[in-house]
Amino acid sequence: MQTYSTAAIRYDLFSRVLHWLVAGIIIYAMCMGYILHALEGTRWFNIFSVFNMSLGTIATPIMLVRFTWRFFRPSVPYPASFSPRKKQLVVFIHEIFYLTILVVLVSGFLMLEKDYHLFGLLHISQPINVSEINAFFFQVHRYSCILLGAILLGHVAAVIKYMLGGQRDVVKRML
């Protein structure tokens, strides 16, 4: 009798939507965070700064849902060609990825030196009103952004490697 595997070959729709939503926000916010340096002193700075903070703010609950959903979603096994050691390494890197995103988001809030309006509409209070602590979290935000950028580049490099190495199935899990 022929047997069929019931294991999913790609992630569920909700996981895929969350993945691309968060990826889009992070890539945009990271690029714009650096571009803002060039906009300092112009009338554009405030507009794009508030937009960036607003996107980061909505990314926080989305990220929490994404993190929680990981424990409930149907599992998608890695290809049999992955050794147990490689699987452990990939899982470990993904944990560091999640943790770094969390640090970027939390430090972004804690560094705020003034209140702001979410997308210009909803008042958000500055959580800590001590400039030395804000300055400390700015450094945390700065270095965690660099780490996040490095992990992101590694993530994209891995995807390209799988594509070129004939392992498109690994990439298709999230498409």
Interface with ligand HEM by CB under 6 A: which range of 2-10, 83-91, 105-113, 151-159? 105-113
- What's the min distance (Å) between Cβ of 74 and ligand HEM? 27
The site that binds ligand HEM (CB under 6 A) totals a number of residues, namely 22
**Closest residue by Cα to residue 34 from 22, 50, 19, 52:** 52
Q: Is 59 in the site for ligand HEM (CB under 6 A)?
A: yes
Planar angle of CA 82, 16, 88, nearest 5 degrees: 25
Rounded-to-integer distance, Cα 141 and Cα 78, Å: 33
Residue nearest to ligand HEM (CB): 33
Q: Is 152 in the site for ligand HEM (CB under 6 A)?
A: no
Choice from 20, 34, 69, 92 touching ligand HEM (CB under 6 A): 34
Q: Is 161 in the site for ligand HEM (CB under 6 A)?
A: no
Q: Which two tokens stand for residue 60?
A: 């926080």
Q: Is 168 in the site for ligand HEM (CB under 6 A)?
A: no
Which residues touch 168 (CB under 8 Å, ≥6 apart)? 162
Choice from 23, 30, 39, 152 touching ligand HEM (CB under 6 A): 30
Planar angle of CA 65, 55, 147, nearest 5 degrees: 80
Nearer to ligand HEM, 51 or 162 (CB): 51
Rounded-to-integer distance, Cα 58 and Cα 105, Å: 10
Q: 3-class SS at 174?
A: coil
Interface residues toward ligand HEM, by CB under 6 A = 25-26, 29-30, 33-34, 36, 49, 52-53, 56-57, 59, 104-105, 108-109, 111-112, 141-142, 145
